[in-house]
Chains A and B, each alone.
Chain A
Amino acid sequence: IHPTGKLFVLSDGEGKHATVELSEPLDEEISGILEVVGRVTSQATIMCMSYVQFREDKSPFDLELYNEALKIIHEFPEYFPFG
């Protein structure tokens, strides 16, 4: 997380990094798995509109598996439409 609190870097299921920008600096400490909803900018960063922290108190989240699942659902738009 950047010192100003307006930027942080996420690492996905394949180890690739994405930079997330916020309109307001973070007002809390966050760590772990985050789901960010936002728009892709022309500089290939994500302008964050909202984020949610995944619960990992009972079991850890398998990010690589989730990444694989995403690839599969994109292969079958007829069974997983994005309206």
Chain B
Amino acid sequence: QRARSQNIVPCTVSQLLAAEQVDETFRIRDVEISQVTIMGIIRHAEKAPTNILYKVDDMTAAPMDVRQWVDTDEAGGENVVVPPGTYVKVAGHLRSFQNKKSLVAFKIMPLENMNEFTTHILEIVNAHMILRKNLMVSSRMPQSLSSAGIGDVGSYRGGGSLPVNGLTAHQSQVLNLIKNCPVAEGMSLQELKFQLHNISMATIKQAVEFLSSEGHIYSTVDDDHYKSTDAE
């Protein structure tokens, strides 16, 4: 039985529209998603007896349909329609019907502090980066350390099938040096600087951090020593 994603993932509308659906599961670039948050401005609100249909625009794609079910037994609070022109945070489930994506919201909150918008866009990049990194790491270790409960990662084999076009020239150089290092405790930052004398230490450190967060390398005895996850 495949574990469902337990996370609530912040996303852009463009990501949700691009998500691929396999049976009951949605994936954005192999990251499984179910519950999501989006943040945008209400362009349109339509009240029906059992639900309110909003169109929420976050400027990354066309406004997305967001449906909020109305509890007909309870009066007040829940049934107030948020006016168009308001920025809101929506938490809900991604749905697809006849190839059209929409959200079923369990919470719609007007933003009181617009700095939340800044936080949200950064969280999107961060969350998707970390979730993807977990996928790569768990394909190498038998016990999955990721909290996302990712199921089938058979599409990620080790070694040569990793795409190299995601790396810059500096990152590739650093990675290759680390890969070819025969020493047990791995390659040290000082050794990298010695070998790559035309690259500054700051650039090397940035490359190491990126490679580490993508799962290509890991630190060994301390934060100055790294080994490649592809090494035999």
Contact = CB atoms under 8 A, between A and B. Distances in A.
Interface of A: 33, 37, 52, 54-56, 58-59, 61-62, 65-66, 69-70, 72-73, 76, 78-83
Given A83-B13, A83-B61, A73 B118 contact: no
B81 interface: no
A55 B15 contact: no
B4 interface: no
Interface residues of B, number: 28
B190 to A, nearest CB: 28
Interface of B: 12-15, 17-18, 29, 41, 59-62, 85, 87, 111-115, 117-118, 121-122, 124-125, 128-129, 166
Q: Most chain-A Cβ atoms within 10 A of its Cβ — which of B14, B18, B112, B118? A: B118
Given A72-B122, A76-B125, A81 B14 contact: yes
A76 B121 CA distance: 11
A61 to B, nearest CB: 5
Given A37-B59, A73-B121, A79 B114 contact: no
A69 B85 contact: no
A63 B53 CA distance: 32
3 shortest A-B CB distances, which residue pairs? Answer: A83-B14, A83-B61, A79-B128
A83 B18 contact: yes
Given A58-B113, A78-B29, A72 B61 contact: no
A46 B89 CA distance: 28
Tell me the interface secondary structure of chain A in the complex. Answer: loop
B114 A83 contact: no
Contacts of A59: 112-115
A55 B166 CA distance: 39
Nearest to A68: B118
Q: Most chain-A Cβ atoms within 10 A of its Cβ — which of B12, B115, B128? A: B115
A81 B18 contact: yes
A61 B62 CA distance: 26
8 contacts: A55-B111, A59-B113, A59-B114, A73-B121, A73-B122, A78-B29, A80-B124, A81-B12
A83 B60 contact: yes
Nearest to B41: A52
B114 A56 contact: yes
A81 B129 CA distance: 13
A56 B112 CA distance: 8
Contacts of B60: 80-83
Contacts of A72: 122, 125
A59 B112 CA distance: 8
Contacts of A69: 118, 121-122
B115 A83 contact: no
